[in-house]
């Protein structure tokens, strides 16, 4: 978003007043004076006017391709977290993960400043679909597909019906796609384990209408497009 547009929408200025504020040296980007009102302000940048932070009018919403070995947490004294992969501006803006991926799971993670949207996306009542690709030990077959569809019984609950599609099967490992509508702790891993298969690699590919950007490197992130954000809001009836 152009700096003058961000100032206009985020600080309630007219575009001409926004440009004037920049010319007068009243605007800083990431703490440094900015003289170009037409500068494109990317995700995670902080903007201030007369020393006061200017927020993006629609908040900040990021897609991350979470790498394995990183915790989904705001902070941890002993381990690296997804927040450590973001610039300081995104952390200052209050951008937080919507839900969790366990430490060894990779793939799509949504981070947002919109707490209400995150709450609705995670609400069990809405049953937002989540899609994973899993590499597991052993040979998957029709009995596993049927078990997932029937609801796998675990120690503390019975999982709701989920779709299991076998992509590769045979030999020592198999590859599968899983779509489920709940997201309890380590659920995919536990469902496969209950059927005698250990998950050796797990990646989330989709969260509701949001699909992982295939061009995003592990540990990389980008701001959601307007279309992606609109689709998420529509999925949880936020218009």
Do both 200 and 143 map to the same domain? Answer: yes
Residues 117 and 218 placed together within one structural domain of the fold: yes
pLDDT in tens, 172-230: 999 999 999 998 889 999 999 999 999 999 999 999 999 999 999 999 998 888 899 99
- Indicate whether 199 and 230 sit together in one domain: no
Hey, which residues does 61 pair with through a beta bridge? 112
Contact 47, 21 (CB under 8 A): no
pLDDT tens digit sequence for 16-32: 998 999 999 999 888 88
Could you report the per-residue pLDDT of 51-73, keeping only the tens digit for each? Answer: 777 766 667 889 999 999 999 98
* Domain count along the chain: 3
Question: What is the reported pTM?
Answer: 0.79
Q: What is the sign of the dihedral through the CA atoms of 33, 85, 215 and 204?
A: negative
Q: What is the CATH number of the domain that holds 89?
A: 3.30.70.580
Q: Are residues 26 and 65 in the same domain?
A: no
- Domain edge (last residue) among 54, 79, 96: 54
Domain ranges, residue 21: 3-54
Q: Are residue 12 and residue 117 in the same domain, yes or no?
A: no
Instruction: Read off the pLDDT of residues 130-156 as tens digits, 9 standing for 90 and up.
Output: 999 999 999 999 999 999 999 999 999
104 is catalytic: no
- CA 73, CA 79: separation in Å to the nearest integer? 10
Considering the domain architecture, whether residues 94 and 116 belong to the same structural domain is answered as yes
Give the CATH number of the domain where residue 160 resides: 3.30.70.1560
Residue from 17, 30, 102, 104 carrying the catalytic annotation: 102
Q: Say whether both 46 and 152 belong to one domain.
A: no
**Whole-number Å distance between alpha carbons of 35 and 87:** 22
> Of the residues 35, 54, 73, which one is the last residue of a structural domain?
54
Same domain, 78 and 193: no
Residues 43 and 65 in one domain: no
Which of 54, 76, 94 corresponds to the end of one domain? Answer: 54
């Amino acid at each position: 978003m152009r700096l003058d547009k961000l100032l206009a929408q985020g600080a309630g200025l007219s575009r001409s007043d926004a440009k004037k504020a920049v010319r007068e040296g009243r605007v800083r980007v990431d703490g440094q004076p900015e003289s170009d009102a037409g500068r494109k302000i990317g995700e995670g940048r902080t903007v201030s006017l007369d020393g006061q932070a200017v927020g993006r009018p629609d908040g900040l919403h990021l897609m991350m391709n979470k790498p394995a070995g990183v915790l989904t947490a705001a902070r941890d004294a002993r381990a690296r977290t997804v927040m450590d992969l973001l610039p300081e501006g995104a952390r200052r803006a209050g951008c937080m993960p919507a839900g969790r991926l366990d430490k060894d799971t990779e793939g799509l993670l949504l981070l947002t400043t919109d707490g209400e949207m995150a709450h609705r996306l995670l609400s069990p009542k809405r049953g937002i679909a989540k899609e994973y690709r899993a590499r597991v030990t052993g040979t998957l077959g029709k009995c596993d597909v049927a078990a997932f569809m029937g609801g796998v019984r675990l120690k503390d609950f019975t999982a709701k019906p989920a779709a299991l599609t076998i992509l590769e099967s045979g030999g020592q490992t198999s590859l599968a796609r899983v779509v489920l509508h709940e997201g309890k702790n380590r659920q995919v891993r536990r469902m496969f384990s209950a059927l005698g298969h250990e998950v050796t690699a797990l990646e989330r590919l989709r969260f509701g209408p949001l699909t992982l950007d295939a061009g995003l490197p592990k540990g990389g992130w980008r701001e959601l497009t307007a279309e992606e954000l609109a689709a998420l809001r529509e999925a949880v009836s936020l218009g």
